[in-house]
Amino acid sequence: MQFIHEADVAAAFIQALRTEMPGIYNLVPDDYLHWDEVLHIVGVRTALTVPLGVARLFMTVAWRYFGSPTHPTWLLNDLLDDFTVSNARLRATGWMPRYRSEAALRAAL
């Protein structure tokens, strides 16, 4: 998982104002964290493991009937799929991230 620091987001917006940047850019740090690293940082000692079907059912019920803001497919797909992306196009404009994923996650917490 990749976590971007708010200061890096602000720097990217400033870069977009200063230079011509048509199109879409991935605003991510250079690194990523494995799921076990994320759990350690947020203080989870042991993670509950359930079958995927049970997790989907639980998330669907929570979303439909209890007002969960997260659609069932969003979180589960993010956890199951590798969606690490490159910031090479944004870096080519002169922007560089100052913070790594761990620092961004800790700042958000």
Tens of pLDDT, residues 89-101 = 999 999 999 999 9
In angstroms, rounded to a whole number, what is the distance separating the alpha carbons of residues 66 and 1? Answer: 27
pTM: 0.77
| Percent of the chain clearing pLDDT 90 (strictly above) | 66
Give me the amino acid identity at 107. Answer: A
* Of residues 88, 93, 94, the one with CA closest to residue 29: 88
Residue 82: pLDDT over 90: no
Tens of pLDDT, residues 27-52 = 999 999 998 899 999 999 888 888 98
